Amino acid sequence: MNILYIEHYAGSDRYGMEFRPYYLAREWVKLGHNVTILAADRSHLRRRNPVIQKDFTEETDAGVRFVWLKSRPYRRNDLFRVANMLGFVKKIKKNAAFIAQTYRPDVIIHSSTYPMDVYAAQAVKAHCGAPCFYEIHDLWPLSLLMLAPRVGEKNPVIRYVQKAEDACYALDDGVISILPGADRHIRERGYADIPFTCVPNGVVLAPPADPVALEPTAAAALEDLRRRGRFIVLYAGGHARSNALDCFVQAADLVNDAVQLVLVGKGDQKQRLMELAAGKPNVTFLPPVAKEQIPALLAMADCLYLGAKNHPLYEYGVGMNKIFDYMLAAKPVLNGVRSAGNPLDLSGCGLTLPPENAAALAEGIETLRRMTPQQRAQMGQKGRDYVVAHHDYRVLARQFLQAITPVERNETP
């Protein structure tokens, strides 16, 4: 089967995030399918972007064909990024006949953080007749409406994005989502008949290998804390408002003197959080580390923190990749995310806390600190066992294939 995967921000091990399309595609290639990922050459998510001179530059990685389109440069969430998105969609629509004739897709997936790429996918479908499937990462424009309440439903941008989302449900042949509760949202929009499958994010379970050492600055800082007998509670990831890190920093005033809160990463809220932590010696900020160093980083913590805003949006589920990094580390997790189908809850690998509640977080930290290392290890191992059983990309790739293969789905009694 020829699979065309339209994903504006797709990356790979070579370029960095976003990894999911590449990991799924790599498994499909192993199963005998041909996969073409159509992506933009500019993305804020990648460590580095491909350097191309013209549209439809091809590159192969682990049997997966990447096709790059030139796109407008941007640096932040502004009108230049909007132009980058719309330009990508417009370019695919303009070249839809060429794409259909060149790559001859048997199935088309459009997967992005915005739903407007449905128009690109449907334009290609018009020239080849291949079924189209919408892969949901985030619910737009619902996310914007809920997280930015001053933006109303009558806003022209919201109306435009909402029209595109509804087009996905009205025109596409099925929906796949990383969010287990997204089907409820689809029904609320009035589209109960479109087939829905939840295929969550996952992990690549590579054969045992020598771990990649943590970069020296972070390693020295954490080793010093361990020598001093500190109980290390670590957060690794983006420093954004949505991650409820104010609560994490505020908990520093409520924990035992032996506790050290460590934040590793970057983001637009990092400077503000550092100012909030001023005068708190039990809070440490470290720069981000490369993906391959994450296991070594998490191994140096006693427990890990995950947080999100206390918001009904998360009732549809969350798809944070760090959840699986945390669980693979076999460390107990302080879970400050209230969401549907959260694997941290399902596995029992930590403590579930009320979101954005510094007092509850401090109490949870104390509960874990008082446990023996063996008890914490047993709790953390539950997370690793759960991920291995349910979130291996080899398993998820087959689930996804079943969802996008109409014959298999329709013949099932």
**313 in any annotated domain:** yes
Q: Are residues 249 and 130 in the same domain?
A: no
Domain extent at residue 269: 216-390
Residues above pLDDT 90, as percent of the chain? 83
**384 in any annotated domain:** yes
Of the listed ranges 78-82, 148-152, 372-376, the least confidently predicted one is 148-152
Q: Are residues 43 and 181 in the same domain?
A: yes
**207 in any annotated domain:** no
Q: What is the pTM of this model?
A: 0.88
Q: Are residues 366 and 406 in the same domain?
A: no
> Under DSSP, is residue 277 helix (H, G, I), strand (E, B) or coil?
coil
Question: Quick one: angle between helices 156-171 and 118-128, nearest 10?
Answer: 30
**208 in any annotated domain:** no
Q: Are residues 48 and 139 in the same domain?
A: yes
Q: What is the pLDDT of residues 249-276, one digit of tens each?
A: 999 999 999 999 999 999 999 999 999 9
DSSP state of 77: S
With a cut of 90, say whether residue 326 has pLDDT above it. Answer: yes
Q: Are residues 320 and 374 in the same domain?
A: yes
Q: What is the band of 152 on the pLDDT scale with cuts at 50, 70, 90?
A: confident
**309 in any annotated domain:** yes
Report the pLDDT value the prediction gives residue 211, as an integer from 0 to 100: 75
Report the pLDDT value the prediction gives residue 8, as an integer from 0 to 100: 96
With a cut of 80, say whether residue 92 has pLDDT above it. Answer: yes
Contact between 263 and 287 under an 8 Å Cβ cutoff? The reply is no
Q: What is the mean pLDDT of the chain?
A: 93
Q: How far is CA 338 from CA 306, 352, 369, in A?
A: 11, 8, 23
Sheet holding 333-336, edge to edge: 283-286, 259-264, 231-236, 303-307, 333-336, 350-352
Over residues 31-36, the mean pLDDT reads 98
Answer with the residue of higher pLDDT: 138 or 5: 5
Q: What is the pLDDT of residues 111-142, one digit of tens each?
A: 988 999 999 999 999 999 999 999 999 999 99
DSSP state of 291: G
Q: Are residues 116 and 198 in the same domain?
A: yes
Answer with the residue of higher pLDDT: 406 or 110: 110
**158 in any annotated domain:** yes
With a cut of 80, say whether residue 97 has pLDDT above it. Answer: yes
d(CA 354, CA 357): 6
Residues above pLDDT 70, as percent of the chain? 97
With a cut of 60, say whether residue 409 has pLDDT above it. Answer: no
Q: Are residues 270 and 294 in the same domain?
A: yes
Q: Are residues 309 and 293 in the same domain?
A: yes
With a cut of 80, say whether residue 408 has pLDDT above it. Answer: no
- Pairing assessment for the beta strands 64-69 and 57-61 based on DSSP bridges: antiparallel
CATH code: domain of residue 385: 3.40.50.2000
Q: What is the band of 47 on the pLDDT scale with cuts at 50, 70, 90?
A: confident
Report the pLDDT value the prediction gives residue 16, as an integer from 0 to 100: 84
Q: What is the pLDDT of residues 343-357, one digit of tens each?
A: 999 999 999 999 999
Q: What is the band of 148 on the pLDDT scale with cuts at 50, 70, 90?
A: confident
Report the pLDDT value the prediction gives residue 295, as an integer from 0 to 100: 93
Report the pLDDT value the prediction gives residue 406, as an integer from 0 to 100: 62
Q: Are residues 163 and 237 in the same domain?
A: no
Q: Are residues 396 and 298 in the same domain?
A: no
**211 in any annotated domain:** no
**240 in any annotated domain:** yes
Count of domains observed in the chain: 2
Contact between 59 and 66 under an 8 Å Cβ cutoff? The reply is yes
Q: Are residues 157 and 223 in the same domain?
A: no
Contact between 217 and 245 under an 8 Å Cβ cutoff? The reply is no
Report the pLDDT value the prediction gives residue 207, as an integer from 0 to 100: 65
DSSP state of 242: G
